[in-house]
């Protein structure tokens, strides 16, 4: 573990309600990506990281298939449910259901800038209504014991000052929320797509650092533009935790190093073979329940990124996992392709080394 993380490991337990959650490192809620199959896969790589569901709207839980939306595997703990909504009573109902289902945290989305989210009066547009957010968090805190947290941007549209960011946070903190996950970019609600809102507005990490200085009693987790564990270690002396999103999805192997590098767990990380062999029984069980293979394998396409055979692995899954009746054999075949390529690569490397030695090089 990085020396500067020692104090932070203890700080990040703050704001945990009755169940203290280590917030040192978390994987962000990502719409259409961080579903239960993806989270199970991530948990094979890291036992310590806090995982988040993709955003689920209050309307979906109240009027839709609540059991399906809230379903997760026990192995996913610690896992947080992210809610989208702006009605305090609806959010309170959903927070209570989350606790009853066994989630470790409820998070309110105040950061998503998409048009679809804005039309429902939730997501980043809620940053213009801090008292509404305060009322929502209080309503949830009043009915459950698990932590209620807020994920937000540093501002929206014409919010140009740090003081306006404080104006958003203060009433929510006064309502009892103690954990704020801050995406260190503004969001433009008009003129930029969700993808552009993740890339074009400049990152402003100093504002997030300043929040921790100005509100030392709050737990501040930083998010946005973080691509490596070394970057995490750069942030951790200044905040309580780091949240990583798309980088962890596109290159999930980085998660295998989290427990050792950030949490100081004195245990070798799993190998890719370990992870795949642990994934097979899960996939088999899910297929028996009627889950389509590609609903699981789409989340692991980047698992062998940078490894010989990665392209063969991705191609085989992309071309076959979506087919009607695709079974575990498709995944085993993809695994065999990458394993064979790696073995060939090692054999060539050994032959070259032997040749160099025999030539006296």
Residue 320, Cβ neighbours under 10 Å: how many?
A: 17
For residue 122 the two structure tokens come to 């939730």
Distance of CA 304 to the CA centre of its chain: 19
- Burial class of residue 300 (count of CB atoms within 10 Å of its CB; 0-12, 13-18, 19+): buried
Inter-residue contact 113 to 194 (CB < 8 Å): yes
CA 84 – CA 21 distance, rounded (Å): 22
Residue 112 among the catalytic residues: yes
Going by C-alpha positions, the residue among 241, 271, 247, 275 that lies closest to residue 43 is 275
- Measured between alpha carbons, how far apart are the two ends of the chain, in Å? 39
| 315 DSSP assignment | H
Residue 81, Cβ neighbours under 10 Å: how many?
A: 27
β-strand partners of 243: 26, 223
Residue of 110, 112, 125, 177 marked active site: 112
For residue 326 the two structure tokens come to 């695709």
User: Which residues are known to be catalytic?
Assistant: 112
């Amino acid at each position: 573990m990085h020396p500067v993380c020692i104090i932070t490991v203890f700080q990040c337990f703050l704001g945990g309600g009755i169940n203290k959650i280590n917030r040192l490192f978390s994987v962000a809620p990502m719409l259409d990506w961080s579903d239960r199959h993806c989270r199970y896969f991530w948990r094979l790589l890291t036992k310590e990281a806090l995982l988040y569901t993709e955003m689920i709207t209050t309307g979906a839980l109240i009027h839709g298939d609540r059991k399906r939306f809230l379903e997760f595997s026990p192995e996913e703990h610690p896992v947080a449910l992210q809610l989208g909504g702006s009605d305090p009573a609806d959010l309170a109902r959903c927070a209570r259901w989350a606790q009853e289902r066994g989630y470790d945290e409820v998070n309110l989305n105040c950061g998503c800038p998409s048009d679809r989210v804005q039309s429902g009066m939730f997501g980043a547009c809620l940053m213009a209504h801090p008292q509404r957010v305060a009322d929502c968090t209080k309503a949830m805190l009043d009915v459950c014991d698990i932590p209620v947290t807020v994920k937000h941007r540093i501002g929206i549209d014409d919010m140009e000052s740090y003081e306006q960011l404080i104006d958003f946070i203060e009433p929510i903190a006064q309502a009892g929320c103690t954990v704020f996950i801050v995406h260190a970019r503004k969001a433009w609600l008009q003129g930029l797509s969700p993808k552009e809102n993740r890339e074009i507005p400049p990152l402003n990490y100093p504002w997030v650092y300043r929040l921790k200085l100005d509100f030392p009693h709050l737990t501040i987790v930083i998010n946005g533009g973080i691509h490596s564990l070394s970057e995490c270690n750069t942030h951790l002396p200044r905040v309580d935790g780091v949240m990583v999103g798309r980088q962890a999805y596109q290159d999930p192997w980085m998660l295998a190093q989290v427990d050792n590098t950030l949490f100081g767990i004195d245990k070798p990380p799993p190998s890719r073979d370990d992870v795949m062999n642990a994934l097979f029984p899960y996939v088999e069980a899910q297929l028996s329940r009627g889950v389509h293979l590609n609903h699981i394998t789409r989340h692991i396409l980047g698992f062998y990124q940078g490894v010989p055979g990665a392209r063969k692995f991705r191609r085989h899954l992309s071309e076959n996992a979506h087919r009607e009746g695709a079974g575990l054999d498709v995944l085993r075949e993809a695994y065999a392709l990458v394993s064979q390529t790696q073995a060939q690569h090692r054999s060539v490397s050994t032959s070259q080394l032997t040749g160099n030695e025999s030539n006296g090089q």
